[in-house]
Amino acid sequence: MSVVRTCPGLYCGRTALGDGSWSDCGACPRGYRTNASSYCVECTDEASLYDWQYLGFMVLLPLVLHWFFIDMVTIGKTNTKALHQHFCALLEVVTGTVGALLMLAPTGSLSLYVCTPKALSDWYTLLHNPQPDYKETLHCTQEAVYPLYTIILLVYAFSLLLTVVMRTILLAWLKISIVHSRT
């Protein structure tokens, strides 16, 4: 492979092509980020304690909101119904989180490979697209903190899907059991 010029901006990089040459400057593929030489390198860092704390906070947020709204809706109703819903919400969020972890690299494992954030700007790459010679913008926006944005969106999507399915089944089951207990 030949040595190539560096790209403008913090997040523009070049990828190796099959014929031994390099691509033009642009955004790195998913799961890659630029190094100091503007080459796109694969993210293979293990998640740090800070990364796990961030993920934990972002997962606890919808769980606490679920529990808050369950409590708001079930005021004055039986505690067992609310308890069933609280447990169901916990199960939905935990299952969604485990599903998202199993989908991302390394696939099938609860560990996670990340692009370690090096600066605050890594979280906001959209704001750092370069303008060479002040003519046109070179769009190099990428997820420089991969998969810390992606996994949260996956967790929320899985949790939403599980909420629609599991909560509907639970509430239908509770309604049927209440009707049968009255007869």
Question: In the prediction, which pLDDT does 178 show?
Answer: 75
Q: In sequence order, what E strands does 80-136 have?
A: 113-114
Q: State the pTM of this model.
A: 0.84
| Res 2: pLDDT | 61
pLDDT in tens, 141-167: 889 999 999 999 999 999 999 999 998
User: Could you read off the pLDDT of 123-142 as tens digits, one per residue?
Assistant: 998 888 888 778 888 888 88
Which residues, listed in sequence order, are joined to residue 33 by a DSSP beta bridge? Answer: 41
Q: What percent of the chain has pLDDT over 70?
A: 98
- State how beta strands 113-114 and 45-46 pair: antiparallel
Average pLDDT on 17-28 reads 91
Q: What is the pLDDT of residue 1?
A: 53
Residue 177 has pLDDT above 90, yes or no: no
- Extract the tokens encoding 2: 């030949």
